[in-house]
Structure 1
């Protein structure tokens, strides 16, 4: 998984799934994808931006290559579990039904016992109610007979008290009517005074409103005049400011253009100077190279001459050749005409 395409073309076989799709089983693939994402292309270039797109596509393909077989494996697990779930549900439902049928005999018996107990309790309560009603009827008859005798004795006293009550009630009625009349008169007087007061207050309120409206109109007029003057002043200041800014902008642009022209001129001069320096340096390097080559050739020639002189001198002194013979022998050896001999420079 060293290439960005390795994960994208990865094929996970079904027998590999149980070992991969477990807790932390995909860490190796995640590590490879993170390593892939560490690359930092140059986003300022089209090539770098295209590379970023390629990396993102590779990551997406890698994700799909891992996720798709994982989803298939998960679906397989669910399908494998579904028959077991169905069979367990059927078994549990059947057991519940059998248990309920066993308990039904006991619950039916208990319901029948509860129903019989309710009937027995109702009969007992009904008999008790009949006894209570009979005792109440007897006590009520005795009370009615006693109350009738007392009522006959109380009639005369009641008549006297009734006449006194009628007199007191008449007196209270008269006093009440008199109090109502006084209250009506006082209320009418008070309402007349309150009405007059309201009219005075309403008149004062209208006058205050008219005065307030006049004052508000005057304030609005003054505010409108001040606003117009302020707007005119702001417009003038804005125009002056914009004119000044335009002038400053023009001066700045002219200054910047002049500075740019001077920079361009200096850069051109500097470029020419650098070109001249580079040309001079190339010329000096070429002269030095020629001098070095000439010196090397001179040194080689001097070295060869020294070797030749020493060899010729040795042939003359050691072998006893003449100078001409020694020179010819040296040339023959140098030119390779003499087998198995050579000159080392």
Structure 2
């Protein structure tokens, strides 16, 4: 097949033959055909016809490119849409197959559910028998007896099917537990009833003994109170006689005491008047003496303050003199040290005084 025939076949590309064309290396034959056609001649650029030929060959390339690319792009779009179509088709297929599977298995599923429900009914029945022996709180014997009677009425027959043996065994075991519990509770309740009876009898005896004791003590208390009242009445009468006699004696004694007290008060008033006059004279003389002593003490205190002030002035003068002497000694020693360095006495004195007055930075004299 010639290159020209190959280029012409490009126009025959369609949706039907696209899957066979647009594969790895499938477009190489079209490229080779176009390349052979446009490179098979060398037009003369110096002529107008030659230049037009080159433009025509380039246009042929563009046309051939479009002839291959356009159906290829269309085919690519169909490829991109294909997953959605396949997904929808698969989803519909899977749904139908699942429904068909469930419909096919439904009889078996229904049988399994019924079988499980049948077994669960027997298991629940056996568990219900076991639960009859389980109590949240300690039951009364009468309640346990009623449960035993109800359980004995439970029929163990072929209706239990393959659970017959287990149901019979559980019923026997549960009845054994309940009967043991009933015997235990019956004995306990009988013992408690006996203890209650004995307690009530003892309480009745204790109550009667207490009532008898209270009555006896009340009678004894009444006797004691009557005897005590008679004794108090006798003592009260005796006390009244003694009180009347004592009152008469006290009145007579009080009259004597009042007379003696009046005489004593008169003598006391006389003595107190004399003592008051004497004390007033002593106080007057003592006041004169105290005033003299106060004046003398004030004079002595003033003299002592003056002496102390004079002594303080002298002390301060001595301290100042000692300080001046000490500083003069220190300044003299400093001056002599400077003179020993071949400095004149006047200059040494000026230096020392300048340092002492703080006029030389960073240099001080330690006094």
> TM-score, length-normalised on structure 1?
0.32
Q: Which structure exhibits the higher relative contact order, with contacts defined as CA atoms closer than 8 Å and separated by 6 or more residues?
A: 1
> TM-score, length-normalised on structure 2?
0.30
Which of structures 1 and 2 has the bigger CA Rg? 2
